[in-house]
Amino acid sequence: MPTGRTILDRVRDLVRHRGFESEAAFLKEAKLSPGYLANLEDRIEERRRAGKKLDSVTIQLDAAMKMARVLGVNVETLAGEYVGGSREDAYPERYWAVEAARFVGLPEPAIRSVQADKPPRDLSRQAWFKRIEAAAQELADRSSVVPMLPPKAAEQA
């Protein structure tokens, strides 16, 4: 996300992008008060009227952490400090699951099949990883070979 935008702009963009029904639904899931974003908007507007920098409006760390967790990003991204890089996946938690799957040697076709999924919201890292494991198992079943699951995953399967 571009820098120079307010944290409120970034939060609202992410809320839309992650498929929340409304800002109220997002706030409820984040366990923040229903008026939290309106209050933040008022504080930003006060700074705008006073001619002050808009990107210096602060929020409490616990609120930032709650929002970041629900939105599937880190606090740095929310603060506008994270710049793309290799994490261009629309689902940040999936990025981590894909990296873990590659690290443990799950088959690339299984990883790519899960990367093609477009759910309405990001899933947890574990949920994405389990999808990749299931895709690897499905590929193995179709080809009648033993799946290439890591030892612990093979024991659980």
Structural Rg of the chain based on CA atoms = 19
Q: Distance between CA atoms of 143 and 63, rounded to whole angstroms?
A: 48
Residue that is last in its domain, among 58, 79, 100: 79
Residue 110 domain flag: yes
| Number of separate domains in the chain | 2
Q: Distance between CA atoms of 71 and 120, rounded to whole angstroms?
A: 12
44 and 13 inside one domain: yes
Provide the domain limits for residue 148: 92-156
Residue 2 domain flag: no
Task: Give the CA count within 13 Å in the CB-facing half-sphere of 155.
Answer: 2
pTM for the complete prediction? 0.51
Give the CATH number for residue 64.
1.10.260.40
- pLDDT per residue, tens digit, the chain (157 aa), is 333 578 898 899 889 888 899 999 999 999 999 999 999 999 999 988 998 887 667 788 888 889 988 887 777 777 776 444 345 677 888 888 888 888 778 888 999 899 888 888 888 888 999 999 999 999 888 876 555 666 555 455 5
For helices 61-71 and 7-17, what crossing angle results, to 10°?
A: 30
